[in-house]
Structure 1
């Protein structure tokens, strides 16, 4: 696949992802119980298996991007700095953002905890 074809495919996939996220955002409006946002956030971050949720998938994507960056033909220091920054972003998503979502869901609907 050509580079431009790959970028076009990524743009289309990102547009679909944004549309899906907008739909989820729309579902968080109106008169809803505390359970509903908790369940929605659990779909974004699965505490039992963080790689299963939406945030986990995004973190995996960024990890792959960091691995790809290490193969780019640029200066080694710049390549390592860029890859490190992307890896830190992936870790932040699962560690920091994921933990905060987990704490929020436990507060909103503790009975919905997955085994």
Structure 2
């Protein structure tokens, strides 16, 4: 498992544990640089996991888990750097319409008795993007 290290001892640490099989990437000279990178990645990865889990719970309740699981997998497999740009720019450009869509999603999840934490947060975030 690759790891990141930073701070004044990062180079030395990498030199010591590297020959033992550790995959260490030195990412900065300041203490905390590696932790910052890890936490920024966590915002994405844990947020994505929460969205996938909520979507699958709703799909299961609606009897559409297999289709939804396949659709999520297809989206993730096709993702590129252009996908990141499309998600960011599209969210800003279409915030009003997407906030209405997420309001409908929250209502649907409520009707399925599935907690809509991620969906509600997405709706609220999109509302904040409306200009």
Taking structure 2 as the reference length, the TM-score comes to 0.34
Higher RCO (CA-CA < 8 Å; seq separation 6+): 1
Structure with the higher strand share, 1 or 2? 2
Name which one, 1 or 2, has greater alpha-carbon Rg.
2
Taking structure 1 as the reference length, the TM-score comes to 0.37
